[in-house]
Chains A and B, each alone.
Chain A
Amino acid sequence: MNWEYAPAPESRAIVDLQPSYGLFIDGEFVDPGDGSAFKTVNPATEEVLAEVAAAGPADVDRAVEAARRAQHETWGPMSGAERAKYLFRVARILQERSRELAVLESLDNGKPIRESRDIDVPLSAAYFFYYAGWADKLEYAGFGPSPQPIGVAGQIIPWNFPLLMAAWKLAPALAAGNTSVLKPAETTPLTALVLAEIFQEAGLPPGVVNVVTGAGATGAALVAHPGVAKIAFTGSTDVGKGIQRELAGTGKRLTLELGGKGANIVFEDAPLDQAIEGIVNGIYFNQGHVCCAGSRLLVQESIAELVVEKLKARLQTLRLGDPLDKNTDIGAINSPVQLEKITELAAAGVAEGAERWTSPCALPEHGFWFPPTIFTDVSPSHRIAREEIFGPVLSVLTFRTPEEAVMKANNTPYGLSAGIWTEKGSRILWMAQQLRAGVVWANTFNRFDPTSPFGGYRESGFGREGGRHGLEAYLDV
């Protein structure tokens, strides 16, 4: 029987979108000094959602000053147990307002509501819960008997998981007694501003978290500000390198979480149907806008044809469309700039001789879309095998032996994530030791948990977020 799912859109009514948003400085929403603003759009419809203030150097200065005052006067001297109370409260309010945050995240980012509802928002709350628990136990975290906060952290986050990245950055920083100036991505500022409302609602002392929205210039002002003791950046490798150059010799601390070209390695004895799901989760989750995406599929040559056939059949069941529809699997590309980049790299794949297959799904008329795509006959020298595409594009390479799989997986300037699919436990352990990647998943992919550290090797960055290890980046140890 031909059975189609009827549209099942989540209601937008729960979101109270304001026509314009100010900056969040010292516990209040304020207008920027020079009054400049930019628009944020819904990438699925190109509709303008709101106008958002663009923070200039003077605004960043006010924010850093507020954060310094809060760190010295209230948040730093406060006992860990008291800080924990605030963080637990924030986590609970995140849960209470989860539906609103999920809808807003999908509107502003373009990701399917299924993902914002089941992954982004619950995980954001989980990170606050987890680090709230550490706030009064820092002396037992393994960093000495009396670890101290660093001061004001400048935190610059990307557009792919706007709320979740704010939680990853803020929760450990605040638990350790630091205060923060957070700079959300230009295309996805809205959930960070609702998070600021949540901080107000939780009664967080003014200045502990400040949110300065804006583009690259705002971020640059924050990085350059002498009052900032630490910069935490998640984003592209190019910008990360620039920040590192800028900070050289300043004494500011830095953690970077940058790009990746993760290898998802499938052996011939893998649990095949689950491996197919893992490949799909690895690269088509969040439209491939994932720094740790499994964008290179390394499949043992003996099963390569079968895996690609099964994968193509599976991709045709993916549902691309309205991000607010509860049955949507693939949402919109976040911005026209990103769409152009994906399109350009996919064209380079064809030009360099790889075989392109694109899922035959209809694309909506408005908005920014890219259908799930697979490249086969990819050789390690192709651009699509080396450069981060950050879109729903998978490059398939083959290998013959475990040694060759390791060699190909490590043959990249990056080193953020890898996946291993095999039923042989000893091989998983051996591979995990050989792979130069910060995260190695076995028989799963793109699974996140607050207790687990996350971070990269080489051009994927340094420093760890999550787990006990994530505290180190925010403690003077």
Chain B
Amino acid sequence: MLGSAWLALVSGASVAVHRRDVPPAGMVLPPAPVTRIGVMGMVTETQLEAKPRGTAPWAGSAGTLVVAGRDGAALADIAASEASLRRFLMGLPGVDQVGAEARTAMLATRSIKAASKLAALELVVRMIDLTTLEGADTPGKIRSLCAKARHPDLGDAGVPPVAAVCVYPDLVGTAKAALSGSPVAVAAVATAFPSGRAALDVKLADVRQAVSAGADEIDMVIDRGAFLSGRYQLVLDEVRAVKEACGGAHLKVILETGELVTYDNVKRASWLAMLGGADFIKTSTGKVAPAATLPVALVMLEAVRDFDTATGRQVGVKVAGGIRSAKDALRYLVVVRETAGEAWLAPDRFRFGASSLLNDVLMQRTKQLTGAYVRADDFSQD
């Protein structure tokens, strides 16, 4: 019985309004709606906090999960104990590797042409977290990256700025100053990135330093050692603690799927991060191979879709590492569109962590507009 858990929206009528996250102006917010989630024969009730209009989707709360029995008697919170958390994660339907890979291989054959290609390329630009994460990063390097982020193509003012720049915490101040007055956000990788091998208070200090320097978004790493040894509660508690330390900053939780290896693990880690309050779940640090792959993205997109169905909260997905060509990026957008749906085709729901991707997208965009390929050197390197 415990091995055959499943999750379903039992009654979603009251949630349908709420999940838009934006009640009409002047509307009095209704009492927090209750979503009932069937979990392994138990019924979970999720109290969702109503969010005020205009609040960024990620500024919401994961809500309090209250688990009730079939008879209505309160049993336990999913995350109340290591045992209940484990039971929940192990009860999620498995992922068949062959099937997941066949599905993305099929989606990769979608042919994106003409106007739909142009629109998609511009969307990709708006979804990019332009990233530099090197020991050799200097203030000068960060400033030139920020200039590129504001105006990706100096020859064409029609190109929108990217979503964010992504840097190490000590360079947040430099990036913030270089981006002042622009819509480009600053994301910082924190929590002893990329390995996450440090004490919790060190990780939290890392986060607080980045936030106080002005980071809008924090990209944390989960403790893969804890996850792989089955200490799910520890992973969850860390995500929650980091979420709290983030304050108003938007939290992306890096699963490092290349170290989790199986799709079942990717799925469980996705749910764990979402239960912990992640605003985004992210594939990789970019420091471990393999980084993002289409099937991993598929599994994570299925998880955010199902989490939305169950709780009404929409969590974003960020793919990072190894995405270098516009063609690859478009394949991800196809998987997004046909898995989570069009609601995720927006920079606050889907991101690319990349650096060299941007110029290839710009080249393809120019080709789409003018019919001719231009030289790589027509675009600044950063």
A268 within 8 A of B: yes
A72-103 residues with Cβ-Cβ distance < 8 A to B are none
Expressed in whole angstroms, the minimum distance between the Cβ of A262 and any Cβ of chain B is 18
Whether A272 contacts B112 by the Cβ 8 Å rule is: no
Whether A3 contacts B8 by the Cβ 8 Å rule is: no
Binds A, one of B60-68, B96-104, B174-182, B191-199: B96-104
- Proximity string of chain B (97-116) to chain A, C-beta cutoff 8 Å, 1 when within and 0 when not: 01110110010011111111
> How long is the Cα–Cα vector from A256 to B120 in the complex, in angstroms?
50
Whether B119 contacts A3 by the Cβ 8 Å rule is: yes
Whether B109 contacts A118 by the Cβ 8 Å rule is: yes
Whether A6 contacts B302 by the Cβ 8 Å rule is: no
A275-291 residues with Cβ-Cβ distance < 8 A to B are 277-278
> How long is the Cα–Cα vector from A327 to B6 in the complex, in angstroms?
32
Whether A1 contacts B302 by the Cβ 8 Å rule is: no
B225 within 8 A of A: no
The main secondary structure of chain A at its interface with chain B is: loop
A2 within 8 A of B: yes
A4 within 8 A of B: yes
> How long is the Cα–Cα vector from A374 to B58 in the complex, in angstroms?
37
Whether B113 contacts A8 by the Cβ 8 Å rule is: yes
Whether A2 contacts B342 by the Cβ 8 Å rule is: yes
> How long is the Cα–Cα vector from A268 to B5 in the complex, in angstroms?
8
Which of B95, B99, B120, B346 touches A444 (beta carbons < 8 Å)? B99
Expressed in whole angstroms, the minimum distance between the Cβ of B373 and any Cβ of chain A is 20
Query: B8: which A residues are within 8 A, CB to CB?
Result: 305-306, 309
Whether A274 contacts B342 by the Cβ 8 Å rule is: no
A271 within 8 A of B: yes
Which of B6, B95, B333, B338 is most buried by chain A, counting CB atoms within 10 A of its CB?
B6
Whether A277 contacts B103 by the Cβ 8 Å rule is: yes
> How long is the Cα–Cα vector from A114 to B110 in the complex, in angstroms?
9
- Proximity string of chain B (186-228) to chain A, C-beta cutoff 8 Å, 1 when within and 0 when not: 0000000000000000000000000000000000000000000
B: number of interface residues (CB 8 Å): 33
A386 within 8 A of B: no
Whether B116 contacts A4 by the Cβ 8 Å rule is: yes
B93 within 8 A of A: yes
Query: A317: which B residues are within 8 A, CB to CB?
Result: 338
Query: A306: which B residues are within 8 A, CB to CB?
Result: 6, 8
Whether B116 contacts A271 by the Cβ 8 Å rule is: no
Query: A4: which B residues are within 8 A, CB to CB?
Result: 116
B269 within 8 A of A: no
Query: B95: which A residues are within 8 A, CB to CB?
Result: 271, 273-274
A340 within 8 A of B: no
Whether A3 contacts B345 by the Cβ 8 Å rule is: yes
Query: A118: which B residues are within 8 A, CB to CB?
Result: 109
Expressed in whole angstroms, the minimum distance between the Cβ of B364 and any Cβ of chain A is 15
Whether A5 contacts B116 by the Cβ 8 Å rule is: yes
A202 within 8 A of B: no
Expressed in whole angstroms, the minimum distance between the Cβ of A344 and any Cβ of chain B is 32
The residue in chain B whose Cβ has the minimal distance to the Cβ of A421 is B96
Instruction: Tell me whether A1 and B99 are in contact in the complex, defined as CB-CB below 8 angstroms, given that A6-B114, A273-B302 are known contacts.
Output: no
Which of B3, B96, B106 touches A271 (beta carbons < 8 Å)? B96
B20 within 8 A of A: no
B183 within 8 A of A: no
Whether B115 contacts A6 by the Cβ 8 Å rule is: yes
Whether B100 contacts A274 by the Cβ 8 Å rule is: yes
The residue in chain A whose Cβ has the minimal distance to the Cβ of B112 is A5
Query: B337: which A residues are within 8 A, CB to CB?
Result: 3
Which of A2, A274, A327 is most buried by chain B, counting CB atoms within 10 A of its CB?
A274
> How long is the Cα–Cα vector from A114 to B100 in the complex, in angstroms?
19
A269 within 8 A of B: yes
Query: B116: which A residues are within 8 A, CB to CB?
Result: 3-6
> How long is the Cα–Cα vector from A317 to B99 in the complex, in angstroms?
18
Instruction: Tell me whether A277 and B4 are in contact in the complex, defined as CB-CB below 8 angstroms, given that A3-B337, A271-B94, A317-B338 are known contacts.
Output: no
- What 10 A-B pairs have minimum CB-CB distances, sorted nearest first? A274-B99, A8-B111, A271-B96, A272-B93, A274-B96, A326-B111, A1-B345, A6-B114, A6-B116, A306-B8
Can you spell out 20 A-B residue pairs with CB atoms less than 8 angstroms apart? A1-B342, A1-B346, A3-B333, A3-B342, A3-B345, A4-B116, A118-B109, A269-B4, A271-B95, A271-B96, A273-B99, A273-B302, A274-B95, A302-B4, A302-B6, A303-B6, A305-B8, A306-B8, A317-B338, A326-B110
Residues of chain B whose beta carbon lies under 8 Å from any beta carbon of chain A: 3-4, 6, 8, 93-96, 98-100, 102-103, 106, 109-117, 119-120, 123, 302, 333, 337-338, 342, 345-346
Residues of chain A whose beta carbon lies under 8 Å from any beta carbon of chain B: 1-8, 114, 118, 268-274, 277-278, 302-303, 305-306, 309, 317, 326-327, 423, 443-444
Contacts A6-B114, A8-B111, A327-B111 supplied; 11 other A-B pairs, CB < 8 Å: A1-B119, A3-B119, A3-B337, A5-B110, A5-B116, A6-B113, A114-B109, A271-B96, A273-B100, A273-B302, A443-B99
